[in-house]
Amino acid sequence: MNTFHKKMIKVFTTALLCSSIWSITAYAYNAVQTVHVGLSGIGSSITLSNKIITIGAEENGNFISAGTLKSEKGFTFASGSGTYAAVSLYYDSYDAAKQKADTISNALPAYTGGGKWQLYVSGTTGDQLRQKTGLACENVSSTANMILIQSNGKTIALTNIITPQFGAADNDDETITINNKQYRGKIQPTRVNGGSIVPVNAVNIEHYLYGVLPGEMSPSFATEALKAQAVASRTYALKKIDMQAHTKSGYDICDGTHCQSYKGKSSEFDATNAAVDATKGLVMYYQGEPIESVFFASSGGYTENSEDIWTAPLPYLKAVADVYEVEPNTWTKKFTASQLTNLTSSKGDNIGQVTDLVLSKIAQGGRVQELKIVGTSGTKVLTKDQVRTYFSSLNGTFPSKMFTINGRGSGSKTSITINAPSSSPQNLANSTALPNNTNISAEESIADSYVIGSDSVVTTPVQTQNYSNTTVDTTNIISTSPTNAQQRTVTVTAASSGGISTNNGSGTFVIEGKGNGHGAGMSQKGAQGMALQGYDFLGILHHYYTDVTIQ
């Protein structure tokens, strides 16, 4: 057997998980249980529709309650400022503080932490208030964190701690309604360095994932794909928290695509909630630390090494074949040389009349790493994400960097035949690994780096399963490959470095692409395809993330 055939067998045996059994190993990482999510689209004016709310604060990881507030009109929050004095007495409840406040002009109940209330009096100093009331008083040195609690246009209380929290107390599922949007957990109106109020949702990480999954993967996807997404999303959230991506803004993670799309309870589906429950607490680790478990919509047949998309080579983000991807995204863009000339000129890239687009570097997964725009008086070199975004004003940003121009791209093509699982999902609890009998035939002149095409599309209907009462025993979970196999033919194209001219003399450049997203980590359509072919969520995750441990 020649070297090429050995190499191909090794690659596809690994890629298809044909002889792999994955188990869960324990690490001592202490995952947080409460996530603090900065909410966008709400603004600094926060309205709670709940008629009864709890008030308190998260202290040493636990919520310390200071009782409830009631109002038929709901509640709003506003930033406080000015001069205040505090009465140096503490009360166990809002009602007790309110009763005393009613006897002092301009006094308000103030929650100051530890489950205790004080009285704050506006427009006066500690000495002035002591002379007036005879009570022990002190100046309030700073109001940078002060938040006024209002109802029906009137301030009924205030708080002067950094992270006060307000939760629902008038419904069974503890849903709090913020500006007419429903969220689990609590609202934490936060001020950073005396700025405006930032709305933060303090929520259990599993409930956070309830609001994430429907925004990241279609709830109609197969159960095992949804479970794979749940583990990837949980891991990604923990990694973002460790990276302190938004600490300076007053929260752990945002609710947008920079972190993960999070829409709260209003976006939840039974299928995605069940996937979260079925994988409760499971996280992917590399050498004991959560990985940056990035994911994307469609690979077009092959994922990519992290360093070929961003900068850092991450050992768990390696290019892998994406053989089973369902309905891979395809797209087309078209530019004329004249349009490109106008574009480069408008961007200040004075290279003269554009004559050619040259594909000068293509990565292992088939994505264009470097693209040269050649003009009569110079060349503009695009690298990394510029390849995708530079042309956005002409015909939109490229969905991915896997494309050809005028039919030219990453070299000569050949075909291979492999054994793939049948389209009928197997009973994974009783299955065994496939024998190492992968059948591969190909031209021997193929390069060491190649990309799998997406010529064959999996169209098996979605399989569903009820996991509403499922619990996970992390000591016994084992993932195995499906047992049945069928032949599947895919296309392999050689990667390249150098210069591939795409000028065919027509004056037009037609870009034909595959895939959608950055290309590193888990392909969501690939996960769906693997699930429909019978792989469980652990098999899916171990395929896309290299050498990880799942606990």
Per-residue pLDDT of the chain (551 residues; tens, 9 = 90+): 444 344 443 444 444 444 344 444 555 577 889 999 999 877 667 899 999 999 999 888 788 999 999 999 999 999 999 999 999 999 999 999 999 999 999 999 999 999 999 999 999 999 999 999 999 999 999 999 999 999 999 999 999 998 899 999 877 678 999 988 999 999 999 988 788 899 999 999 999 999 999 999 999 999 999 999 999 999 999 999 999 989 888 899 999 988 999 999 999 999 999 999 999 999 999 999 999 999 999 999 899 999 999 989 999 999 998 888 998 889 999 999 999 999 999 999 999 999 999 999 998 888 999 999 999 999 999 998 999 999 999 989 999 999 999 999 854 444 444 444 433 333 332 222 222 222 222 222 112 222 222 222 222 233 333 333 333 333 334 444 444 434 445 555 555 667 899 999 999 999 999 999 999 999 999 999 999 999 999 999 999 999 999 99
* Residues 6 or more apart whose Cβ sits within 8 Å of residue 491: 301, 413, 414, 415, 452, 453, 455
Q: Which amino acid is at 437?
A: N
The CA-atom distances, in angstroms, between 549 and each of 163, 254, 312, 502, 526 are: 35, 27, 21, 44, 21
| Distance between CA atoms of residues 209 and 202, nearest Å | 13
Q: Residues 98, 59: one domain?
A: yes
The predicted pLDDT at position 478 comes to 42
Q: Residues 166, 301: one domain?
A: no
Within a domain: 542: no
Written as one string, the DSSP assignment of 136-191 is -EEE----TT-EEEEETTEEEEEE-SSSEEEEE-SSTT--EEETTEEESSEEEEEE
SS3 (DSSP) at 238: helix
Within a domain: 26: no
SS3 (DSSP) at 336: strand
Q: Residues 8, 120: one domain?
A: no
Q: Total domain count for the chain? A: 2
Within a domain: 174: yes
Q: Which of 175, 204, 233 lies at the terminal end of a domain, its last residue?
A: 204
Q: Residues 480, 345: one domain?
A: yes
DSSP H stretches of helix in 331-466: 337-346, 386-389, 392-395
Q: Residues 321, 377: one domain?
A: yes
Within a domain: 262: no
Within a domain: 104: yes
Q: Which of 188, 204, 220 lies at the terminal end of a domain, its last residue?
A: 204
Closest CA to 542 of 31, 15, 13: 15
| Distance between CA atoms of residues 454 and 457, nearest Å | 7
Q: Residues 509, 381: one domain?
A: yes
SS3 (DSSP) at 331: strand
Q: Which domain holds residue 137?
A: 42-204
Closest CA to 56 of 158, 164, 154, 155: 164
Contacts made by residues 30-34, CB under 8 angstroms, sequence distance 24+:
31/205, 31/238, 31/281, 31/283, 31/290, 32/205, 32/238, 32/241, 33/61, 33/204, 33/205, 34/58, 34/61, 34/185, 34/202, 34/203, 34/204, 34/205
| Distance between CA atoms of residues 107 and 123, nearest Å | 10
Q: Residues 397, 493: one domain?
A: yes
The predicted pLDDT at position 498 comes to 73
The predicted pLDDT at position 20 comes to 40
Strands 137-139 and 116-122: unpaired
| Distance between CA atoms of residues 464 and 222, nearest Å | 6
For the record, the structure tokens of 414 come out as 């050949």
Contact (CB, 8 A) for 107 and 101? yes
Compute, in degrees rounded to 10, the torsion defined by CA atoms 139, 145, 146, 147.
-170
For the record, the structure tokens of 321 come out as 């074949």
Q: Which of 186, 204, 222 lies at the terminal end of a domain, its last residue?
A: 204
Residue 113's H or E segment, with its range, is strand 107-113
Residue 379, judged by CB atoms within 10 A of its CB (0-12, 13-18, 19+), counts as middle
The predicted pLDDT at position 27 comes to 56
Contact (CB, 8 A) for 275 and 268? no
The predicted pLDDT at position 490 comes to 52
Q: Residues 9, 46: one domain?
A: no
Q: Residues 108, 190: one domain?
A: yes
The predicted pLDDT at position 8 comes to 43
The predicted pLDDT at position 41 comes to 77
As a 3-state breakdown, the chain gives helix, strand, coil percent values, each rounded to 5, of 20, 35, 45
From first CA to last CA, the distance across the chain in angstroms is 39
Q: What is the DSSP letter of 435?
A: P
Q: What does the angle CA 523 – CA 527 – CA 528 come to, to the nearest 5 degrees?
A: 120
| Distance between CA atoms of residues 232 and 439, nearest Å | 32
Q: Residues 371, 404: one domain?
A: yes
Within a domain: 227: no
Within a domain: 71: yes
| Distance between CA atoms of residues 217 and 540, nearest Å | 15
Q: Residues 307, 437: one domain?
A: yes
Q: Residues 308, 194: one domain?
A: no
Within a domain: 119: yes
For the record, the structure tokens of 365 come out as 């997964």
